[in-house]
Amino acid sequence: MSRTLREITGETRLTAENFVLPYFVRTGSNSEVPIKSMPGISQFTVDRLIADMEEPVKNGLRAVLLFGLPDKKNSEGSSAWDSRGPVPAALRAIKKYYPEVVTMADVCMCEYTDHGHCGPLTETKLGEITVDNDKALLLHARIATAYAEAGADVVAPSGMMDGVVGAIREKLDQSGFIDTTIMAYSAKYASSFYGPFRDAAESPPKSGDRKTYQMSPMNSREALREVELDIEEGADIVMVKPALAYLDIIRMVRDEFILPVAAYNVSGEYSMLKAAIEKNWLSYDAVAETLLSIRRAGADIIISYFAREIFKEDSLIDVYRHSR
Ligand code: PBG
């Protein structure tokens, strides 16, 4: 079969519109700090982020997802809602320089708290230290509103706290941001594939882990329940994360619900392919094949660090670029 015929008859394809590129934003200026465990990915200050986006945007990149690295961390994570923080600053700059790009902002506190958990901590009656859910909800709503004010089109609560989507929707609506979209990390598994991200975002939990609020890899039906709850609370886009070890979950969610489904091709999934390709153990074609599997499983939106390579001038990844 010729290449053209293969393309005409192909059931699934990767298009530029499918991709969201995550960025790690630092405070300060004129600095780019490569992330050791994620070859090709860096933390950028806002000025360098704007410069870095030029090539991918020219080649069809449509959306970015921002993570912030604050100057200071404290027990409350209060720099998360500071309008001068790295994420609001980046949102304003992107809206100014690339008004056509969709801006998404991750709403979480683990990068902002000194203990690395996704909300302020409290002690239960039994003496266990745990995230104070009620307080965390109010703070997440406050962070989401600060991001909407700075120009976020989409806010993405990633902590998977019970009630967080509803709390954010209510506060956004009250503040007049009725059009701000919520992309919920609905089915988020407690995964070792987040390892390199915790390097990148400087956010490993100082003690304990996130297993109490992230899903067990043993479960799949629970994912449907989590998605259902988030939709009831007002989610506009639902997410499955990670993608590769959870392709079955992506398919289940796609079949069960009508909302757009996003899949997060997470840091560890990126790094393991990059490592094998660097060693010449795998050919670069493995990247497109992997991304296609996520599309075939049913994801409408793929959040992937590979988007940086897809939208390079000399990209080796075969996607149908919108701008061409
Ligand atoms: C939480 C968050 C994490 C990721 C995205 N948002 C880390 C975690 O839950 O520990 C992981 C993304 C990746 O691994 O690429 N703010």
Q: What is the CATH number of the domain that holds 68?
A: 3.20.20.70
Q: Does residue 143 form part of some domain?
A: yes
pLDDT recorded at residue 323: 46
Whole-prediction pTM value?
A: 0.94
Q: Please give the backbone phi and psi of residue 198, each rounded to the nearest 5 degrees, phi first.
A: -65, -25
pLDDT recorded at residue 322: 54
Q: Which amino acid is at 261?
A: V
Sites in the chain below the pLDDT cut of 70: 203-212, 320-324
Cβ–ligand 1 distance for 108 under 6 Å, the answer: yes
The whole-angstrom separation of Cα 139 and Cα 161 is 12
Nearest protein CA to atom 7 of ligand 1, as residue: 194
Q: Does residue 243 form part of some domain?
A: no
pLDDT recorded at residue 209: 64
pLDDT recorded at residue 5: 86
64-119 pLDDT, tens digit each: 999 999 988 988 888 999 999 999 999 999 999 999 999 999 999 989 998 888 88
Where in the sequence numbering do the catalytic residues fall?
188, 241
Q: Does residue 199 form part of some domain?
A: yes
Number of domains forming the structure of the chain: 1
How many whole angstroms from 154 Cα to the centroid of ligand 1?
A: 17
Number of the ligand 1 atom closest to the C-alpha atom of 110: 16
Q: Any residues with CB less than 8 A from the CB of 294 and at least 6 apart, and which?
A: 243, 244, 247, 250, 263, 265, 302
Q: Does residue 169 form part of some domain?
A: yes
Q: Does residue 156 form part of some domain?
A: yes
Beta-carbon-side half-sphere exposure of residue 40 (alpha carbons within 13 Å): 19
Q: Return the DSSP state at 236.
A: S
Domain that holds residue 105: 3-237
Mutation test residue for ligand 1: of 64, 104, 140, 158, the one with most atoms within 8 Å of CB: 158
The whole-angstrom separation of Cα 291 and Cα 302 is 8
Give how far Cα 290 sits from Cα of 31, 60, 66, 243, 270, Å: 32, 20, 23, 10, 10
Nearest protein CA to atom 6 of ligand 1, as residue: 158
The whole-angstrom separation of Cα 115 and Cα 165 is 23
Cβ–ligand 1 distance for 271 under 6 Å, the answer: no
pLDDT recorded at residue 291: 96
Q: Does residue 123 form part of some domain?
A: yes
My answer on whether omega of the bond before 217 falls inside 30° of 0, hence cis, is no
204-217 pLDDT, tens digit each: 666 666 656 789 99
SS3 for 128-188, per residue?
A: CEEECHHHHHHHHHHHHHHHHHHCCCEEEECCCCCCHHHHHHHHHHHCCCCCCEEEEEEEE
How many whole angstroms from 194 Cα to the centroid of ligand 1?
A: 6
How many whole angstroms from 85 Cα to the centroid of ligand 1?
A: 19
Q: What number of residues does the chain have?
A: 324
Q: Return the DSSP state at 211.
A: T
Q: Does residue 296 form part of some domain?
A: no
Mutation test residue for ligand 1: of 65, 115, 197, the one with most atoms within 8 Å of CB: 197
Number of the ligand 1 atom closest to the C-alpha atom of 205: 10
pLDDT recorded at residue 201: 83
pLDDT recorded at residue 321: 60
Number of the ligand 1 atom closest to the C-alpha atom of 109: 16
CB 71 within 8 A of CB 45: no
Q: Does residue 152 form part of some domain?
A: yes
Q: Which helix (H) or strand (E) holds 106?
A: strand 102-107
Q: Any residues with CB less than 8 A from the CB of 123 and at least 6 apart, and which?
A: 129, 130
Cβ–ligand 1 distance for 158 under 6 Å, the answer: yes
Cβ–ligand 1 distance for 35 under 6 Å, the answer: no
pLDDT recorded at residue 110: 87
